[in-house]
Amino acid sequence: MANPALPDVPQLFARFDSDAGSSGAARDRFEMLVTDLVKVKHPDATTVEGPGNRDWGIDTFWGQLAGGSVLVWQSKYIRDWQDKTPQSQIRTSFESAVKHATAEKYKITAWTLAVPCKLAPDQLKWLQGWAKRQSAATGIAIQLWDGTELRNQLLTRDAMDVRREYFPHTVESIPVALGIQSAEPIAVTDDLTQFEGALFVRQLREAGSVETDSACAHFFATDALIRDFEAKGHEDAMTSMTELHLEVHDIWERNFNEQLVTAQDDGRLPRLLSLVTDAAAACPNPHGLHLARAHKKGTAHRLVEQKKAGWVAHWRDVAASHVQPGAVEGDVVQVPDGNAPAIAGQAEPVATP
């Protein structure tokens, strides 16, 4: 079957009205679409909402509201922008965002307006002039994601999952066209005791995690998939998994640096584990693979096992002092820093993609 074309902007977003059933539902769905597109590039981006829909003038943001800097996306479900009518909405939203940033002591470095339409020439001219004046006055970079920009993002490989979620009628043949296989299998094991001596389990317990079975299952699923690729000589798949490991490592590093100021006296970072694994699970699929969330979460634990990350402030000390049970019962081996440790019960060291 030929790959269905992605319709032009008016037809593409007209489905939001028919599928949602009401203007309010369509508006909410459009906001979710924008958030999901933002998360393609910023996996730990999120949304906020207070009582009575008080959101500080923010629909989607990435960064630190606690005295840090943020990127803000403002979604406006404006299907037709041919006259001055939407201008007051835009001014009000921007002023609200700036006001709350000043009051709450965080800095907006960029503010992006997202609308599912094409602007009339005179309205685009107004918006560009307004944005230039506001940027000069506030120091905030103002950008536009109009319908054309949103459509172009949906055409990219990284946004394929987003496209499938919101426009499923356009993706029947995308996996074939991009060389993406069907969903990769999730390997499972009934023997999680094999990970009892693993570094990633020790790091979890240092962080205060009492139960670690799900983390072990995620680790096993990812490691088994990589071993399968390696055994079959799937070099392209191994390269894609390396890409994922680099992306998840970047997620861990950014969150670790941000959370370090919250470290408790014993070195625990209460939010780090969930922030990293949730963001890892939301990572776009690497080229050529259709991974489960479990595979992506398992990638974070593999990085810990490889002594490239950890869940406490003193994670390097934990990794350096860790001794790993060898493949032969009773033996203990000290693993050189940076290499993948052997895990008891496995015949070979954990493969590094």
* pLDDT per position as a tens digit, 60-91: 999 999 989 999 999 999 999 999 999 999 99
User: Do 17 and 149 belong to one domain?
Assistant: yes
Say how far apart CA 307 and CA 339 lie, in whole Å.
7
Partnered with residue 312 across adjacent β-strands are 268
**Do 302 and 269 sit in the same domain of this protein?**
yes
84 and 156 both lie in a single domain: yes
Q: Do 139 and 45 reside in the same domain of the chain?
A: yes
Q: What's the per-residue H, E or C state across 206-234?
A: HCCCCCCHHHHHHHHHHHHHHHHHHHCCC
Specify whether 40 is located in the same domain as 170: yes
Burial class (CB in 10 A: 0-12, 13-18, 19+), 302: buried
Domain presence at residue 296: yes
**If you count them, how many residues does the chain have?**
353
- Tally of domains in the chain: 2
Same domain, 198 and 57: no
The helix/strand/coil state of 113 is strand
- Per-position b or e across 63-75, b if 16+ CB within 10 A of its CB: bebeeeebbbbbb
Say how far apart CA 32 and CA 47 lie, in whole Å: 9
Q: Is residue 246 part of a domain?
A: yes
**Per-residue confidence (pLDDT) for residue 170, from 0 to 100:** 82
CA distance 328 to 324: 11
SS3 264: coil
Record the pTM. 0.55
Query: In the chain, helix, strand, coil percent, each to 5?
Result: 50, 10, 40
Looking at the structure, do residues 13 and 150 belong to the same domain, yes or no?
yes
Alpha-carbon distance of 218 to 198, in angstroms, equals 14
Q: What is the pLDDT of residues 114-146, one digit of tens each?
A: 999 999 999 999 999 999 999 999 999 999 999
Determine the structural domain holding residue 16 and report its residue range.
9-177
28/190 Cα distance (integer angstroms): 42
Residues 6+ apart with CB under 8 A from 144: 112, 113, 115, 127, 131
By C-alpha distance, which of 129, 96, 126 is closest to 111?
Answer: 96
Q: What is the pLDDT of residue 177?
A: 43
Amino acid 340: pLDDT? 41
| pLDDT at residue number 164 | 84
Same domain, 109 and 221: no
Q: Where are the beta strands (DSSP E) in 16-134?
A: 60-63, 69-75, 107-114
Q: Give strand pairing partners of 332.
A: 325
pLDDT of the residue at 122: 97
Residue 343 lies in a domain: no
Q: What is the mean pLDDT of each run of 10 residues along the chain (353 residues)?
A: 71 82 82 93 84 76 92 95 96 95 94 97 97 96 96 88 85 49 80 92 95 94 94 92 94 93 93 91 86 93 96 96 60 36 38 48
